[in-house]
Amino acid sequence: MAISISCSPCSSVNTMLSLSSSSQCLPSKLFFKPCKSFMLNSRPGIVVNCASSDMGSSSSSDYESFRQAHLPSFGLSSNGDARKPSYKWQRVLLKVSGEALAGDNAQNIDPKVTMAIAREVASVTRLGVEVAIVVGGGNIFRGSTWAGCSGLDRSSADYIGMMATVMNAIFLQATMESIGIPTRVQTAFRMSEVAEPYIRRRAIRHLEKGRVVIFAAGTGNPFFTTDTAAALRCAEINAEVVLKATNVNGVYDKDPRQNSDARLLDTLSYQDVITKELSVMDLTAITLCQENNIPVVVFNLNEEGNISRAIQGERVGTIIGGQRRAATAELQQ
Ligand code: UDP
């Protein structure tokens, strides 16, 4: 039986990332200082093709090998345009931790950070890259920290943590939409008054239509993390890379805060991360990435332009399980 996969026009593609806030301060405990306004880039009319990514070469299932060799990502395909720039990745999953959202603000969220993210997301979606975002919640509540307090069991604590990610997601959505980026929030468990439930095909359709999709509430299960949710959603929607936005420049050979000669590592294998117990991602998340050949780029969110540089495969941060591409955007014949 022959199976055909149709492809949407590349111009409708966009990427998942996180966001920022408006210039209003909110009254309660979470809150925000004014942030400056900015202008959106004009749409350059660039079309992105479906270049396959040169992902890492660790173990993969037969199906995974077949899929990579023969099938475009679901909902993605190249088109016949003779002059289209080829970016390193066409559909990405941006993981933004709660800590990154907080910036150096004493409050839970720094609106300057969320706005900076929104601006970068806007610039890459206008290049035709599809962006999905998984947000963390550690700036508000971390289940493992609170478990055991006043009779709070770990599962209940983790559900509170997952709800914290929804708060961040809604804030991020508001910021994104304030600068004109169509955005949908999908939650891993139902909160239908505030967001859509997670439906894989629907998420992909949003991406194809140029919307940013923010995945909230992690995996929907206690005892997991939003890093694992990022790896899981990335695999599910056939995104090509997890871009892990952090407050540090990447992965170092030793702790840079204690060793002035610490060296930023350019590339790492999944096995390096696992055996050396590097605290890049938890073991479940990195293993999921390894099993599905999903490269992870760890980079500093606070440096302007880093998100778009990471998406274009430029030398930014540390790449795990993948390779760099020298050129930013190549014209295909
Ligand atoms: N969490 C969970 N299951 C998930 C994802 C998250 O239970 O699949 C809970 C967990 O309590 C965690 C909190 O949500 O501490 C916030 O997520 P995370 O710590 O991953 O956020 P980040 O460190 O990225 O800010």
pLDDT computed for residue 211 by the predictor: 97
Q: Angle of helix 283-291 relative to helix 226-236, nearest 10 degrees? A: 10
Which ranges in 5-126 belong to alpha helices (H)? 62-70, 98-102, 111-125
CB of 93 closer than 8 Å to CB of 241: yes
Mutate to test the pocket of ligand 1, among 18, 162, 236 (most ligand atoms within 8 A of CB): 162
CB atoms within 10 A of CB 27: 7
CA of 187 to the centre of ligand 1 (A): 13
pLDDT computed for residue 325 by the predictor: 55
CA of 72 to the centre of ligand 1 (A): 31
CA of 17 to the centre of ligand 1 (A): 17
* Ligand 1, atom 14: closest residue by C-alpha: 161
Residues in contact with ligand 1 by the CB-under-6-Å rule are 97-99, 136-138, 142-144, 157-158, 161-162, 164-165, 218-219, 221-222, 224-229
* Sole residue written with tokens 């923010």: 214
Rounded CA separation 331/124 (Å): 17
Mutate to test the pocket of ligand 1, among 160, 224, 225, 288 (most ligand atoms within 8 A of CB): 225
pLDDT in tens, 27-52: 333 433 333 333 333 333 323 233 33
pLDDT in tens, 67-77: 444 444 444 44
* Ligand 1, atom 15: closest residue by C-alpha: 142
* Angle made by CA atoms 184, 138, 322, in degrees to the nearest 5: 70
Mutate to test the pocket of ligand 1, among 165, 246, 283 (most ligand atoms within 8 A of CB): 165
DSSP H or E segment with residue 228:
helix 226-236
Whole-Å CA distances, 140 to 157, 226, 256: 12, 14, 26
Rounded CA separation 118/112 (Å): 10
Secondary structure class of 187 (helix, strand, coil) = strand
Locate 121 and state its tokens.
């997301």
Residue 225 dihedral angles phi and psi, to the nearest 5°:
-125, 170
DSSP H or E segment with residue 91:
strand 91-96
Mutate to test the pocket of ligand 1, among 226, 227, 301 (most ligand atoms within 8 A of CB): 226
Task: Pick the atom of ligand 1 nearest to 226's CA.
Answer: 20
Nearest to 170 by CA among 109, 84, 87: 109
Domains of the chain listed by start with CATH number? 4-70 (no CATH), 91-332 (3.40.1160.10)
CB of 105 closer than 8 Å to CB of 139: no
- Sign of the dihedral defined by the CA atoms of residues 313, 314, 317, 320, in that order: positive
* Sole residue written with tokens 């950070």: 113
Residue 102 dihedral angles phi and psi, to the nearest 5°:
-75, -25
CA of 38 to the centre of ligand 1 (A): 31
Rounded CA separation 202/192 (Å): 15
Ranges of the chain whose pLDDT falls below 70: 1-86, 324-333
Separation of first and last alpha carbons in the chain: 32
Secondary structure class of 201 (helix, strand, coil) = helix
* Sole residue written with tokens 């301060």: 25
CB of 47 closer than 8 Å to CB of 128: yes
